[in-house]
Amino acid sequence: MRKIPALSPLPGDLPPDHQPVIIAAQRSAIGRAGGIFASLDVEYLAAPVMQAVLAEAQISPNQLDDVILGNAAGPGGNVARLSSLHAGFPPSIPGVTVDRQCGSGLEAVMMACHLIMAGAGTTYLAGGVESQSRAPLRSLPASGTLPAHSYTRARFSPDTIGDPEMGAAADTVAKQFNISRTRQDAFALRSQHRATEARAAGRFTAEITPVAGQTTDECIRETMTVARLARLRPAFSKDGTVTVGNACPLNDGAAALLITTAAKARSLGHTNALAYIGGAAAGVDPNILGIGPVASTQKLLKHHTDLHLADLTHLEFNEAFAAQVLASLDALGIDETLPNQDGGAIALGHPFGASGAILVVRLFTQLIRQNAPADARAMAMIGIGGGQGLTAAFQSTRL
């Protein structure tokens, strides 16, 4: 591994009062849609996690400059403000909800970091929340030549370009990038085995806040085998390779992180933190949306020449579908065994608006709670409906 230079998110080192660091990170258990959190609206999912992350950081809510939450399939309105008030935060603390679909939670984290870099504030709670169980079925009345119809998701792209369902797009990626069914199933099985082992070893315990008394991820399949995966039929097209076994389930969950300046973290007595280096968003063809992280990662590396994929000790890559993860890893030249060392979304689940934030919670556990070396570098990557990718880079640091 090459020698890693001093933390330099921008040309020249950032001063401590402009360097964003994460000092606390919590998530709920991840429930199956219609499962353990089926009766909870999003604010009931988010509020306990938000309260817990402030307690972990030893910060009172009245110190927050803003609350930023991602949400993709929720009821509309301002989920961040609703959740903040439900958590008992003072009415003087504002809240804003962001929607970059599956990347919403990571977008919220990046937004908070960028606000700190710009000097707009010093202390933010950022994260995401999703309830697929409570996501509304929306209806449109007849209009002109268009008939009335109902839909479960918003349009991501015009029909003139293509707006495929996620599974169909994953099948397209598998075909276009020659990702075999055997390889997809092997990747999915590794995710299940890693998550099973991580849970048994207690590596999720410190990051999970009890919500409605639940502390155990609901979707991990401890007894999954390659033979069981091989028996599953294609889920989205007759000759496809994507199945319910090598794709993520639909889920409910929440995550929150406390992001502040290195200077303030020091003053609060924190000695270890996850420093933000930089992030990037990029667009790709909506018909092969799963490779979005390739473009966003390449963009990030172009802007941060001191970053090198070969130096990553950890990588959290959202496993919407094994096919798109493998295609992206191949394109970036990353070994497929590097990401998701404690399992990913195929095993744990993918609560859309929360998933990007959950990736960073996982990195916080792996690099800070587990005392990784001070120069350890990591990335979070996620593909996004409509043809986008989002990548963020972090480094463990001693304050």
- The model's pLDDT over 109-132, given as tens digits with 9 standing for 90+, comes to 999 999 999 999 999 999 999 999
Phi, psi of 315 (to 5 degrees): -145, 125
Residue 165 lies in a domain: no
CA distance 27 to 389: 23
CA distance 395 to 257: 16
Q: What is the pLDDT of residue 75?
A: 84
Residue 131 lies in a domain: yes
Residue 130 lies in a domain: yes
Q: What is the pLDDT of residue 137?
A: 64
**Cβ 389 vs Cβ 325: under 8 Å:** no
Residue 5 has pLDDT above 50, yes or no: no
This prediction has a pTM of 0.94
Number of independent structural domains in the chain: 1
Residue 92 lies in a domain: yes
Phi, psi of 181 (to 5 degrees): -60, -40
Residue 241 lies in a domain: no
Helices 322-332 + 166-176 axis angle, to 10: 40
Range of the domain at 280: 20-135+247-398
**Cβ 259 vs Cβ 271: under 8 Å:** no
Sign for the CA dihedral angle at 343, 281, 163, 129 comes to positive
270, 304, 314, 350: the catalytic one is: 350
86, 102, 149, 270: the catalytic one is: 102
Q: What is the pLDDT of residue 84?
A: 99
Q: What is the CATH number of the domain that holds 96?
A: 3.40.47.10
Residue 385 lies in a domain: yes
Summarised one tens digit per residue, pLDDT across range 192-242 is: 999 999 999 999 999 999 999 999 999 999 999 999 999 999 999 999 999
**Cβ 68 vs Cβ 98: under 8 Å:** yes
Q: How confident is the model at residue 1 (pLDDT cuts 50, 70, 90)?
A: very low
Residue 162 lies in a domain: no
**Cβ 222 vs Cβ 196: under 8 Å:** yes
Residue 239 lies in a domain: no
- 102 assigned to active site: yes
Beta bridge partners of 278: 393
